[in-house]
């Protein structure tokens, strides 16, 4: 008979993995930050059953976890769903409520800066805005249909909370919306043409620059950002794979270190996470290193809010790899210890309530 998971210690850091059958919960365990092999993810079981939990978002202040279910039907009707979970003292998700997303195959979601609204993109061609109550429950969505042949892949809200950007891989553009956070409404869209296969957009914490990863062509575009107008001006485009690599590749996730000095991108095909240094004034990127993920198709990675660790999801290997992040130079120190999860898609960290 398998041993029961140990009760989490006080002050534990929890890790959540959205996967084929639901949301798996883990506890981050470290015995020596200087020895990367001493990092593990201790399994705490399936925290919540949810079909095709393909992407997660965390409200750290409310300690609420949001998850999309990337399915074609919900409650007998065409479309997917989004769920809100309160996280108890042991980190276990407790369902608050579920809502239809107003479109098929919801694949990505993001909170606005004031945590008033949750934005969800449906790969079928729409974006939904859900008001978030004080307790984390989701209200009814306002759904905005996108242009014909649109295939949205990601959504991001700028740090000022004025504009929302939808990455449209069908039309190779960013759809920019003015966001009325108080009313939970999106204004008229302005299309910004970009390179092929835009997937996810990440803003530097200070809001001066934004970075777009392209699934096609294996590139990242750096933009200078004017918050007052929501204007993106391209300043650079760099490859996410080294010159010697000529195999098939599709970048997936992009994220900045909380200090804004480093940018990370995952490569499906090259099977790596690439590190770039970010110029403080110009916002340009300089390649630093590539780190193999020890598995196939690293579709997502999550960065601990304290930036001590990263967890990398190898979707086609059914594994999650924990890694230490060097505080000085942003380099990854993989543990070499893999956690097994069937059909993993996304990973998020929840720090202790005291922020430790």
Read off the pLDDT of residues 105-154 as tens digits, 9 standing for 90 and up.
999 999 999 999 999 999 999 999 999 999 999 999 999 999 999 999 99
pLDDT band at 188 (very low <50, low <70, confident <90, very high): confident
Q: In what order do the strands lie in the sheet with 185-193?
A: 152-157, 163-168, 173-180, 185-193
Rounded to whole angstroms, how far apart are CA atoms 102 and 152?
14
Q: Is the dihedral of CA 46, 48, 54, 59 positive or negative?
A: negative
pLDDT band at 38 (very low <50, low <70, confident <90, very high): confident
Q: What integer pLDDT is reported at residue 36 of this predicted model?
A: 60
Give the burial class of 61: count Cβ atoms within 10 A of its Cβ; 0-12 exposed, 13-18 middle, 19 or more buried. Answer: exposed
Average pLDDT on 155-179 reads: 97
Q: Are strands 272-278 and 285-292 parallel, antiparallel or unpaired?
A: antiparallel
DSSP 92: -
Q: What integer pLDDT is reported at residue 1 of this predicted model?
A: 40
Rounded to whole angstroms, how far apart are CA atoms 142 and 138?
12
pLDDT of 254 over the 70 cut: yes
Rounded to whole angstroms, how far apart are CA atoms 286 and 220?
12
pLDDT of 355 over the 70 cut: no
Average pLDDT on 285-302 reads: 98
Rounded to whole angstroms, how far apart are CA atoms 25 and 320?
12
CB 219 within 8 A of CB 240: yes
What distances in angstroms separate CA 52 from CA 121, 200, 350, one per listed residue? 15, 20, 21
The number of helix segments (H) and strand segments (E) in the chain equals 0, 30
pLDDT of 102 over the 80 cut: yes
pLDDT band at 31 (very low <50, low <70, confident <90, very high): confident
Task: Dump pLDDT digits (tens) for 49-87.
Answer: 999 999 999 999 999 999 999 988 899 889 999 999 999
Helix (H) or strand (E) holding 331: none
What distances in angstroms separate CA 340 from CA 9, 22, 31, 206, one per listed residue? 22, 14, 21, 36
């Amino acid at each position: 008979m398998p041993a029961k998971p140990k009760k989490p210690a006080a002050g534990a850091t929890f890790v959540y993995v959205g996967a084929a059958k639901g949301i798996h919960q883990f506890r981050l365990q470290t015995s020596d930050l200087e020895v990367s092999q001493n990092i593990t993810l201790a399994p705490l079981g399936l925290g919540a059953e949810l079909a095709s939990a393909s992407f997660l978002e965390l409200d750290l202040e409310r300690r609420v976890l949001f998850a999309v279910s990337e399915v074609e039907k919900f409650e007998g009707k065409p479309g997917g769903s989004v769920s809100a979970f309160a996280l108890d003292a042991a980190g276990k998700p407790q369902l608050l409520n579920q809502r239809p997303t107003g479109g098929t195959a919801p694949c990505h979601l993001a909170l606005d800066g004031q945590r008033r609204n949750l934005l969800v993109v449906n790969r079928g061609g729409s974006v939904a805005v859900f008001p978030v109550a004080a307790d984390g429950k989701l209200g009814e969505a306002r759904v905005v249909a996108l242009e014909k042949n649109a295939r949205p892949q990601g959504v991001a809200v700028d740090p000022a909370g004025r504009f929302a950007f939808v990455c449209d891989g069908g039309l190779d553009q960013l759809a920019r919306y003015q966001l009325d956070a108080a009313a939970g409404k999106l204004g008229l869209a302005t299309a910004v043409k970009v390179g092929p296969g835009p997937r996810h957009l990440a803003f530097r914490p200070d809001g001066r620059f934004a970075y777009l990863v392209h699934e096609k062509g294996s590139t990242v575009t750096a933009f200078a950002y004017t918050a007052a107008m929501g204007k993106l001006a391209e300043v650079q485009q760099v490859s996410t794979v080294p010159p010697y690599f000529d195999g098939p590749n599709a970048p997936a996730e992009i994220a900045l270190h909380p200090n804004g000095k480093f940018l990370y991108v995952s490569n499906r095909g090259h099977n790596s996470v690439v590190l770039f240094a970010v110029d403080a004034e110009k916002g340009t990127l300089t390649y630093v290193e590539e780190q193999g993920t020890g598995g196939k198709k690293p579709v997502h990675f999550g960065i601990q809010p304290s930036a001590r660790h990263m967890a990398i999801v190898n979707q086609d290997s059914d594994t999650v790899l924990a890694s230490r992040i060097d505080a000085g130079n942003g380099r990854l120190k993989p543990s070499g210890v893999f956690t097994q999860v069937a059909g993993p898609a996304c990973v998020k960290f929840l720090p202790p309530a005291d922020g430790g």
